[in-house]
Chains A and B, each alone.
Chain A
Amino acid sequence: MVLIKGASLLGKKRADVYIEDGVIREIGSVSTTAETTIDADGLVLLPGLVDLHTHLREPGREDAETVLTGSQAAAVGGYTAVLAMANTTPVTDTAEAAIRVWELGREAGLVDVQPVGAVTKGLAGEELAELGLMARSKAKVRVFSDDGKCVHDARVMRRALEYVKALGGVVSQHSQDPALAGPSACCHEGELSGRLGLPGWPGVAEEVVVARDVMLARHTGSRVHVAHVSTAGSVEVIRWAKAQGIDVTAEVTPHHLLLTTDLLAGYDPTYKVNPPLRPAEDVEALRRALADGTIDAVATDHAPHARHDKEHAFVDAAFGMLGLETALSVVTTVMVDSGLLDWAGVARVMSSNPARIAGLDGDAGHGRDLSVGSPANLTLVDPAAQVVVDRDASVSLSRNNPWHDRKLTGRVVATLLRGRPTVLEGALA
């Protein structure tokens, strides 16, 4: 039994929320006492956050992150469910591999870890992985992605889109034409890369794949999800596709909503990420697209790396940055403080939309309305807190944190998974 006292529901109505047996039982002025009472005066209550895009590194790179430590980072970040990408070693391309990740998540017990299945065997882009067996397994895989690599062969992408229709699944595409993004490409191609002499890839390398995929989605009548949109051109294509009634959804990362390519001027591999940080014009377009619904969700692309994998020359260093613990603060700073989104909007892009895209809004009980009878997957946020990010305070095993020393607004105070607090007073419960 948990009683949340005086929370502001989605930043609006102030109420007490009483939780029993993992379900919201009462909303209003509650006089019942509970084992745990959380004073939520001044705090905003949201449905638990859902991340469509995390890399938990287990199996294979347990020195960088494990399902347990990634789950801890997720809970601290206000998440109650995360989708674990398939590019582990071995790749999640079989039911057995998916079940293993799913079980590790249940053992950790902090967030619902939902494995993403590979689209192709070994992420090689050639033969379909066992999509149906993964879908039918107890891990109930619904999102398929070769993330880290693009399903660049149009024939393979077409078949994958067709095949997942029978499974109620979706293909989440890492949109990057390998012919336009060479093997050494390491950053956004533009004026800065020209000056720095860094091989880059232009926005169009993403946009041509997004354009092709929405046409394939139209042709197959299937559903496609565009992972980590990073350019204004991709936004235009998605906006057009939605206007045509094409079944496309899209996500943007927190870092693409705030960080820009000029951070690369000092060759610091902390800022090396795929897709790369883009110029301010793209960042501005992504914010507007998230506000107007063209982009459906914020997804972290949390990508932990062992320190030594970032201590190479810029072109040789690993791609990726941490994101789970800071996502809500970044969204508060960028979207809420600026008036682009209200808290209901935050709940939409960080909880209900991602839950719906991943098929976690049914029995799994994520992304539901704050109403009596809903599973108590909840996040409490202090909307006014000023935080200075300290990478050494992270519960992730990795330190590739681009937000270190940055001042952000908004802080997760508590997270509840089916009524059980996983985080209280900003720390693991």
Chain B
Amino acid sequence: MRHLLSIDDVTAEEIGAIFETAAEMHDVQRREVKKLPALRGRTVINLFFEDSTRTRSSFEIAGKWLSADVINLSAKGSSASKGESLRDTVLTVTAMGVDGLVIRHPASGAPAQVAQWLHESRGAVPVVNAGDGMHEHPTQALLDAYTLQRRLGSLEGRHVAIVGDLTHSRVFRSNVKSLAKLGASVTVVAPPTLMPSGVAGWSKEAGFATSYDLDAVLAGANGRVDAVMMLRVQRERMSGGYFPSAREYAVGYGLTRDRLARLEPDTPILHPGPMNRGLEISPEAADAVASLVLDQVSAGVAVRMSVLYHLLAGEE
């Protein structure tokens, strides 16, 4: 693993190793003194081309607890609009002498392009994708799987339903890959307007199921559901004609109080945040005993510590 641009970059074994280290890091989080010396003297830049509070601070804490010097650079707005090319922006930042780049960008594929440009010009600086457009969010998928695995044990043979705005979701695109690598089966649920284009061929090849009917899926149409992952739905999608109203969406695809009551009480509920309470998830579900939402946040720091550690301090 030279970069973490996509879940495609890691094997099941590597995911196992990341989780093992993450478990150790997780213990550190509970200590009074949280710093480890692993990345002392290393510099990590969080280069964020898109607003983010939770992911940026999660990476920042992760780097700091590993004793790296962490610098946050906000470069909001497309570099095109500022007259500087993305390549120039990234090469400029990297020329300061950094050991790792964490990139969030509103455009799909930007971190992969950056990694390519770095290879062509300055040699290998590890790049971590902290979310690129609608493409992937690999550390989110890793922390989701890590959190689930701590709750359920092995994910082998487990069945996860992923529900929401699939078209625009990088969380979904990373999760179908990571869950498949860990042996889980996946059913994705969305109205037809929020299904990614060409999902029929993709799902067949990648081995996940699709459905427009959340109730049928929760009732076991594709087998017992062992975990439910709700995705954020942006209200502005309504103006794009993706669905008519918030209440219609909630009735069709929200994890409402009614649907919560039909789940086993210990069925884990995940959400990558930020949540739209009342739209894709009811407050009862968000705050349910089985809700893992806050566990995901805390695991996020441990998993990102582990990823930074493997990329920057790894033996390979």
Q: Which residues in A have some Cβ–Cβ distance to B below 8 Å? A: 189-200, 202, 266-269, 308-309, 311-316
Contact: A312 with B80, CB < 8 Å? yes
Residue ID in chain A nearest B116 by CB atoms: A266
Q: A194-B197, A195-B173 given as contacts; is B136 within 8 A of A311 (CB)?
A: no
A316–B80 CA distance with the chains assembled, in angstroms: 7
Question: Do A316 and B196 form a contact, CB below 8 Å, given A191-B202, A197-B133, A311-B86?
Answer: no
Most chain A C-beta atoms within 10 Å of own C-beta, residue among B87, B88, B167, B170 = B87
17 new A-B contacts at CB < 8 Å, known A192-B198, A196-B108, A313-B80: A191-B197, A191-B201, A193-B197, A194-B199, A196-B109, A198-B133, A198-B134, A200-B197, A266-B116, A267-B112, A308-B87, A308-B88, A311-B85, A312-B78, A312-B87, A316-B78, A316-B86
Chain A positions within 8 Å of B110 at CB level: 267, 313-314
Given contacts A193-B197, A194-B198, A311-B87, contact A266 B112 (CB under 8 A): yes
Binding site for A on B (CB under 8 A): 78-80, 85-88, 105, 107-110, 112-113, 116-117, 132-136, 167, 170, 173, 196-199, 201-202
- The tally of CB-CB contacts under 8 A between chains A and B is 91
Given contacts A312-B78, A312-B80, contact A197 B134 (CB under 8 A): yes
A267 CB contacts on chain B under 8 angstroms: 108-110, 112-113
A195 is contacted by which of B79, B113, B202 (Cβ under 8 Å)? B202
Residue contacts A-B, CB under 8 angstroms, 17 given: A193-B197, A194-B199, A194-B202, A195-B198, A196-B108, A197-B108, A197-B134, A267-B108, A268-B113, A311-B86, A311-B87, A312-B80, A313-B78, A313-B86, A313-B105, A314-B110, A316-B86
Docked pose: A172 CA to B163 CA in angstroms: 45
Interface centre among A192, A202, A311 (most CB of B within 10 A): A311
Give the nearest-CB partner of B198 in chain A. A191
User: What's the Cα separation between A282 and B98 when bound, in Å?
Assistant: 45
B240 to chain A, nearest CB (A): 8
A314 with B109: CB separation less than 8 A: yes
Q: How far is the CB of A47 from chain B (nearest CB, A)?
A: 42
B285 to chain A, nearest CB (A): 27
Residues of B within 8 A of A269 (CB): 113
A195 lies within 8 A of B196 (CB): yes
Contacts of A315 in B (CB 8 A): 107-108, 133
- Of A196, A311, A313, the residue contacting B88 (CB under 8 A) is A311
- Minimum CB–CB distance from B29 to chain A (whole Å) comes to 32
- Give the chain B neighbours of A191 by CB distance below 8 A: 197-199, 201-202
**Residues A189 and B197 in contact in the complex (CB < 8 Å), given A311-B85, A313-B78:** yes
Look across to chain B and name the residue whose beta carbon is closest to the beta carbon of A310.
B85
The complex places the Cα of A2 from the Cα of B266 at a distance, in Å, of 89
Q: Which A residues lie within 8 Å of B197 (CB)? A: 189-191, 193-194, 200, 202
Say yes or no: A190 contacts B198, CB within 8 Å: yes
Bound Cα distance from A167 to B199, whole angstroms: 49
Cβ contacts under 8 Å, B196 to chain A: 194-195, 197
Q: Which residues of A contact B199 (CB under 8 A)?
A: 191, 194
Cβ distance A196 to chain B, nearest Cβ, rounded Å: 6
* Listed residue (B78, B134, B167) with the most chain A CB atoms within 10 angstroms of its CB: B134
Residues of A with C-beta under 8 A to B170 = 197
Do residues B80 and A314 form an inter-chain contact, with CB atoms below 8 A? no
Among B78, B107, B132, B198, the residue within 8 A (CB) of A193 is B198
Which B residues are CB-close (under 8 A) to A198?
108-109, 133-135
Q: How far is the CA of A315 from the CA of B85 in the complex (A)?
A: 13
Contacts of A312 in B (CB 8 A): 78-80, 85-87
Considering the complex, give the chain B residue whose CB is closest to the CB of A188: B197
Q: Kindly identify which residue among B79, B113, B117 contacts A314, using a CB–CB cutoff of 8 Å.
A: B113
